[in-house]
Structure formats: C-alpha cells, structure tokens
Amino acid sequence: MNRLFTVVNVLGKMILVFGLTMFIPLGVALWGDDGAQPVFEESIVITFSSGLVMWLATRRYHRELQIKDGFLLVVLVWSVLPAFAMLPLLFYLPELNLSMAYFEAVSGLTATGGTVLSGLDKLPPSINIWRGEIVWLGGMGLIVLAVAILPLLGVGGRQLLNAEIPGPMKENKLTPRIAETAKGLWSIYAGLTVMCAITYKWAGMEWFDAVMHAFTTLGLGGFSSHDASYGYWDSPLIESVAIIFMLIAGINFATHFLAWRGKNLIPYRYDSEVGWCVVIIFFSCFGLAFYLWFNNVYTEPLIALRYATFNIVSVATTTGYSNTDYSLWPMFAPLWMLFLSAFCSSSGSTGGGMKMIRVRILYQQVYREIVTLMHPNAVIPAKVGRSVLANRVIFSVLVFLFVYSASILLMALALTLSGLDAVTSFSAAVACINNLGPGLGGIGPATTYALLTDLQIWICSFAMLLGRLEFFTVLAIFVPAFWRK
C-alpha cells in the first residue's frame, strides 16, 4: 500500500495542475457570458481541494519513483483525471448521468473522441472548448507517455521505439531528464496547434471553432462543436487543412523534435513508420474513391476522391472526424477504414491502434519464419530500418498483438452479451480500443454512444483506457505479483 500512497502523492500534484487548466474555459465562459461560469467555478473548487488533500495526506510517502510506480501512476492518471474532467459536463447537463459524463471525459483524455452528446452546436462555447482542451491535454500527456515513459516500462516492445533517437530519451530511469524531453515535445505540439488554429481561421472557420478544432486535430481526438462534424462547413479548403494537420499529428513527435532541432528534414527519411503510413493511406484514398465511384455512391470521381480522402485520413489516423455519414457507404469501405485505423499511426504520435512500427516488426517476423521453415539452420537477423531487434523486443511486440486482438474480441463479445447487435459491438470494440471514436451501426459517425446502456458505456470506457495505455500497463496492476514487495 505504501506504493499506492507514493503514487497518489504525485497524482495529487497533477490534479492541482489539471485544476489550473480549467481556468481557460472559465475565462471563455466569463468573456462570452455563456452561462457556464458557476459550473466551472464549482469544478475548480472540487478539483483543487481534492488534489490538495491527496497531495498533503500522502506527503510523507514522497520518494523517487520506480518502475512499478510508473505503471500505477500512468493507470491512475488516465482513470482518475476523467473523474475531474467530467465535472463541468455533469453539472451543466442535468440529462447526463455519471456513466456518460465519465465516458465523455475518458473519450477526451484518451483522445478517442467518441461522444455521448448531441446538440453540440447549442452547447455553451466554454463547454465545447473544455471538451477540446481535454483532448489536447490528453494528447500532450500521451506523447510523453509514448516517447518517454512506456519505453522505460518496456511495454509492448516500446524499448525499440527510441532505438534510433540519441540523447535524453535513451536514459534508463525515471529521471528529471524526462522533463527536458517533454518540454521539447510539448513546444512542438503547442507550436503546431497554434499554426493549425491560424490556418483554420484563414480557411474560413470562426476563431472559436478554429481553436477548438486545432485542439482536437493535433490531439487526434475528433470532438467537434458541431453535430455534423466537418459536414457543417462543407468546405474542401477547411478539409484540406484538417487532412494536413491530421497527417502531421499522426507522425512520431520525436521525429518532429529531431527535425526541428536539426533544422532539416532528414529525420523523416529515417523514420521507419511515416513512409509506410503515407503510402498505405495514399493508395487507400484512390482505391476507395474508385470503389465509391464504381458503386455509384458518387457519380463525380473528384467528389468521390474528396470524401474518400477526408474520411480515410480521419479514420486511419484515428482522429474520428467525418464530413458525411460513411457508415452508409457499401460495407467494404467503412470496414477497410476501421482496418486502417488499427495500424496507420506512428508510435509517439497522438494516434491510436497497434502503431505501424509493430506491424513492420510482425511483417519482418513472418518473413523470417518462412525463410527459417525452408532453411531450418539459417540465422536471419530481425531488422527494422537500421536497427537490429533483440528477441526480447520481438516477443513483446508479438505478445502485444495477441493481447490487442484478444481484447477487441473479448470486448466485442462482452458488448454482444449485454444485448448489442454484432456490427455495433465489434465496431465499438475496434473504435474504442484503437481510440478512434465513431464506429458503425448504432454508433456510426452520424450518431452517438448515447444509445448504449450504462454497462455498455462502462465497457467502452474501459476499452478506451486499455487501448490508450497499451494493455500491459493496465494488466500489470491486476497481477498479484505487482502488489508484492
């Protein structure tokens, strides 16, 4: 239990900082006089006092964090922060119950972007900006998680991730250096967000929408302030801006960091994921545009290409925007898109799913297996890019895949058992575990998760956390050995 107190001590401090971020929507509420001020004031008071109590009550357990603490901290951050993030929603919307409010907050902080809310256009701006902000904060936390913390914890072969990155990110302890790395990554993340917001404004959005969507574009979180998502503007220019920034946010931020520090583009060439992601998405856009045109969904090839491209990039990068209800397209189209969402983002990005690097390692391993079958004594090194992989890393990646597939299957079965139809169940499991957002059937891009029962909502919330924290972080704390000295 001492471990729990040590970690709660850190968590308390993080909750205090998190409370500070609520002043932004409070400011928006005051400035626009949109009626949500009291809601944010109450939320800030509760968040601050909780954080303070947690921090002070556990002060004497303060010490440097160890590996096991890392697991626990990560799980607690992503499961406890939503309980505070949901407060403004819970207070402002009386029709929202606890399950739904927590779901919405988890969906934000895991950058999933599936929503239980409709009538978004009529919500106070401060509530919508808060929804966007938690996606953005979640994305920020995520980059650090993926680039600095998970590799230290060794989750799912994450050690590999930084094999090609020199310097501070390669340390082997949870040291203050993480803070330095984090600062560099965050500057880039924040800089890109500002650029994105300005470009959105230039392309035709209102300032408020530009900022809110810049938050959810860089976080790849898919929340919108309009029920119709990007269908609201129906503007190819705005969609192009979104496409560019979604692709940028789908790249490893460590690569952006190296490129920015070295002031050149070479790091992108040596990135072992970005090329594959771009090529697969590129061909999928043209292929699906042809398929839509061939099936008479759109009679104009260019219109088909526009809708195919925007929705594919959105789903493949696990953003979750849409500019039309693609769940009405012939079934292969949305299924292919869900398939892409499983592996088309890079590790170290704000995207979800298995990550391209793991798929490359798997591919490599299948090739090795076939060669070894024919030449049982051959020794073939496993290489991705310039790095030779240790068996340990390959094992982690293969086991990760197994746990990933098994989780999707078991979550889908659990949803079916609770009474949901097969297509909705499976697409919900995929959409939540990949942190994508919209699924198909009852939870398609034109609808929301609100039709689910409370139990189903909780299953989805758990699935989002599981996917976001890469399974093992969560599973580890359920193993009895974790709690032994």
Q: Which of 24, 30, 280, 335 binds its own copies (CB under 8 A)?
A: 335
Amino acid at 93: L
Residue 296 binding its own copies, by CB under 8 A = no
Q: Which of 244, 398, 446, 450 binds its own copies (CB under 8 A)?
A: 398
Residue 451 binding its own copies, by CB under 8 A = no
Using CB distances below 5 to 8 A depending on partner kind, what does residue 320 bind out of K ion, its own copies, none? K ion
- Geometric angle at alpha carbon 18, from 17 and 23, rounded to 5°: 95
Residue 331 binding its own copies, by CB under 8 A = yes
- Quick one: tokens of 481? 């050995």
Shortest approach of its own copies to residue 97 CB, angstroms? 25
Residue with smaller CB distance to K ion, 88 or 437 = 437
State the first-to-last Cα distance of the chain, in angstroms, to the nearest integer: 10
Determine the distance from the C-alpha atom of residue 331 to the mean position of all C-alpha atoms in its chain, rounded to a whole number: 25
Q: Which of 94, 166, 296, 479 binds its own copies (CB under 8 A)?
A: 479
Residue with smaller CB distance to its own copies, 272 or 396 = 396
* 115 labelled binding-site residue: no
Residue among 275, 464, 254, 435 nearest 359 (CA): 275
Residue among 154, 74, 58 nearest 477 (CA): 74
Using CB distances below 5 to 8 A depending on partner kind, what does residue 113 bind out of K ion, its own copies, none? K ion
Residue with smaller CB distance to its own copies, 231 or 334 = 334
- Quick one: tokens of 203? 């392309």
Enumerate residues 432-451 that contact K ion by CB under 5 A: 437
* 51 labelled binding-site residue: no
Determine the distance from the C-alpha atom of residue 356 to the mean position of all C-alpha atoms in its chain, rounded to a whole number: 15
Residue among 359, 328, 365 nearest 342 (CA): 359
Spatial contact of 368 and 380, defined as CB atoms under 8 Å apart: yes
- Quick one: tokens of 267? 């790091």
Which region among 31-39, 41-49, 176-184, 414-422 touches its own copies (by CB under 8 A)? 414-422
Give the separation between CA 70 and CA 77, rounded to whole angstroms: 11
Give the separation between CA 81 and CA 452, rounded to whole angstroms: 23
Beta bridge partners of 109: none
Shortest approach of its own copies to residue 375 CB, angstroms? 9
Shortest approach of its own copies to residue 8 CB, angstroms? 20
Give the separation between CA 126 and CA 313, rounded to whole angstroms: 28
- Coil/strand/helix, residue 181: helix
Shortest approach of its own copies to residue 137 CB, angstroms? 27
Enumerate residues 45-74 that contact its own copies by CB under 8 A: 67-68, 71
Question: Which residues contribute to the site for its own copies (CB under 8 A)?
Answer: 67-68, 71, 153-155, 291, 330-332, 335-336, 339, 362, 365-366, 369-374, 376, 391-392, 394-396, 398-399, 401-403, 405, 409, 412-413, 416-417, 419, 421-423, 425-426, 472, 475-476, 479, 481-482
Instruction: Pick out the residues of the known binding site for K(+).
Output: 112, 220-221, 318-319, 435-436
